Amino acid sequence: MTHSGHIRDRVRELLAAHDPGSTDRLEFLRARFDAGLAWVHYPVGLGGLAAPRELQQVVDAELDEAGAPDNDPLRIGIGLGMAAPTILTYGTEEQKSRFLRPLWTGEEVWCQLFSEPGAGSDLAALGTRAVRDGDDWVVTGQKVWTSSAHTARWAILLARTDPDLPKHQGITYFVCDMTAPGVEVRPLRQITGEAEFNEVFLTDVRIPDAHRLGAVGEGWKVARTTLMNERVAIGGAAIPREGGMIGIVADTWRQHPELRTPELHARLVKLWARAEALRLTGVRLRQQLAAGAPGPEGSGMKLAFARLAQDISGFEVELMGEAGLRYDDWTLCRPDQVDFTGRGPGYRYLRAKGNSIEGGTSEILRNIIAERVLGLPSEPRSDTGPWKDLPR
């Protein structure tokens, strides 16, 4: 069932039955999902074949070569990277079969209603309330910095169901319909000029109990699955040498001898070496995963990625000389996808600032490494009492 020859046969069958040249894009994606070739490590019937994760590369390469459409992953990153693994781990059978297929094909975009004005790094302090009312929950509160809320059909949502318990215990995890009455999405402009994220106001939004993920009060445990996958998604993609930002800067360097100075040269080569070292670290990490021995190295990838992206993009603006004084476009727009390396150097520089904030700040990631990997003691805490009594 799991070897690559068998997988190749499945791909050929799919292509024979649905010629990518003449098949509608969505129809092809649905057929691919139904053939188990969406994410091969998922269970049979849910877009997968229960095969080893690394065989996905075989599928992707074959389909790419055949000119098959992809599911536009930059547009549906939160669904693919965060909602899907959480639904797979904690969802009921009904939830899995309802949500995963349109999530993967991109018919339904997902967003993440976690952060609040008063609860960012300290996410477990969140105050959005969910109160039980018959078969429904009634949700009221405010979320912020919600990427793709303006394109999303569904959200993963954390809300407080019991304010009398300590903060980690009274949280429940829901799937929220972004088209439901009481959901209001307002663009929130970021330093790049665009509004990639939003403020989301929830006023008496009714969520059926059937859209709860995991048990009542177990939301924090469920959220940990989401957050772990988020960090892997931000820092973990496989790229060739000079893939990503460093390749853009290296090309600029090669094409513009007039920009060169010895000092910039020394810094560029240092950045190149760091980028290549981080790329090899990712290769090594995936080899460890494939060998069935995941190391703790994964927790560091996002931290290293953020620092490198910021250093490279900062360097690039300096390298550009006069062109570095300019910006491509400040017009407020609401993009439907996130591409860290898209647009010009000024945009890359500004967007990279978010890399050390989104998905857990670099300071929080250092805490996690220090405590979970190195085993160092945690800070003394003052937030262990009931949530309702915490200072805020």
Ligand X SMILES: Cc1cc2nc3c(=O)[nH]c(=O)nc-3n(C[C@H](O)[C@H](O)[C@H](O)COP(=O)(O)OP(=O)(O)OC[C@H]3O[C@@H](n4cnc5c(N)ncnc54)[C@H](O)[C@@H]3O)c2cc1C
Residues carrying an active site annotation? 230
Q: Which is nearer to other proteins, 214 or 300 (CB)?
A: 300
- Determine the Cα–Cα distance for residues 92 and 157; give it in Å rounded to an integer: 17
Nearest to 129 by CA among 119, 137, 117, 118: 137
Rule CB under 6 A: is residue 115 a binding residue for ligand X?
yes
Contacted by 209, from ligand X, other proteins, none: CB < 5 to 8 Å by type: none
Task: Give the single-character DSSP code of 376.
Answer: P
Q: Pick the piece of the chain touching ligand X (CB under 6 A) from 145-153, 176-184, 261-269, 284-292.
A: 145-153
- Determine the Cα–Cα distance for residues 354 and 20; give it in Å rounded to an integer: 37
Q: What residue has token string 């993920």?
A: 213
- Interface with other proteins (CB under 8 A), residue from 283, 326, 328, 389: 283
- Determine the Cα–Cα distance for residues 73 and 71; give it in Å rounded to an integer: 6
Alpha-carbon distance values, 282 to 163, 238, 287, 304 (Å):
41, 7, 9, 11
Contacted by 115, from other proteins, ligand X, none: CB < 5 to 8 Å by type: ligand X
Alpha-carbon distance values, 139 to 44, 157, 159 (Å):
35, 10, 8
12-28 residues labelled b (16+ CB within 10 A) or e (exposed): eebbeebeeeebeeeeb
Q: Which is nearer to ligand X, 254 or 392 (CB)?
A: 392
* Contacts of residue 153, Cβ cutoff 8 Å, sequence gap at least 6: 108, 109, 110, 177, 178, 179
Q: Which is nearer to ligand X, 29 or 111 (CB)?
A: 111
Rule CB under 6 A: is residue 146 a binding residue for ligand X?
yes
- Determine the Cα–Cα distance for residues 286 and 348; give it in Å rounded to an integer: 27
Rule CB under 6 A: is residue 371 a binding residue for ligand X?
no
Element containing residue 27 per DSSP (H, E): helix 25-34
Segment 195-234, which members bind other proteins (CB under 8 A)?
none
Rule CB under 8 A: is residue 16 a binding residue for other proteins?
no
Element containing residue 350 per DSSP (H, E): helix 345-353
Q: Would you mind telling me the total number of residues written for the chain in this entry?
A: 392
- Interface with other proteins (CB under 8 A), residue from 375, 381, 382, 391: 375
Rule CB under 6 A: is residue 339 a binding residue for ligand X?
no
Rule CB under 6 A: is residue 363 a binding residue for ligand X?
yes
Rule CB under 6 A: is residue 361 a binding residue for ligand X?
yes
Q: Calculate Rg over the CA atoms of the chain.
A: 22
Rule CB under 6 A: is residue 358 a binding residue for ligand X?
yes
Q: Which is nearer to ligand X, 115 or 161 (CB)?
A: 115
Q: Pick the piece of the chain touching other proteins (CB under 8 A) from 6-14, 150-158, 179-187, 373-381.
A: 373-381
Contacted by 121, from ligand X, other proteins, none: CB < 5 to 8 Å by type: ligand X
Backbone angles phi, psi at 375, to 5 degrees: 75, 25
Rule CB under 6 A: is residue 128 a binding residue for ligand X?
no
Number of chain residues interacting with other proteins (CB under 8 A): 43
- Interface with other proteins (CB under 8 A), residue from 292, 325, 379, 382: 379
- Determine the Cα–Cα distance for residues 392 and 378; give it in Å rounded to an integer: 21
Rule CB under 6 A: is residue 114 a binding residue for ligand X?
yes
Q: Which is nearer to ligand X, 195 or 268 (CB)?
A: 195
> Are the C-beta atoms of 353 and 191 separated by less than 8 Å?
yes
Segment 293-322, which members bind other proteins (CB under 8 A)?
297, 300, 303-304
Rule CB under 8 A: is residue 377 a binding residue for other proteins?
yes
Extended beta strands in 13-80, E state: none
Rule CB under 6 A: is residue 145 a binding residue for ligand X?
yes
- Interface with ligand X (CB under 6 A), residue from 79, 127, 300, 354: 354
For 275, other C-beta atoms within 10 Å of its C-beta total 25
- Determine the Cα–Cα distance for residues 40 and 51; give it in Å rounded to an integer: 5
Minimum CB separation of residue 251 from other proteins in Å reads 10
Backbone angles phi, psi at 177, to 5 degrees: -80, 115
Rule CB under 8 A: is residue 274 a binding residue for other proteins?
yes
The residues of the shown chain that bind other proteins, judged by CB under 8 A, are 250, 253-254, 257, 260, 262, 265-266, 268-270, 272-274, 276-278, 280-281, 283-284, 287-288, 291, 297, 300, 303-304, 363, 365-367, 369-371, 373-380
The residues of the shown chain that bind ligand X, judged by CB under 6 A, are 111-112, 114-115, 120-121, 145-147, 197, 354, 357-358, 361, 363-364, 367
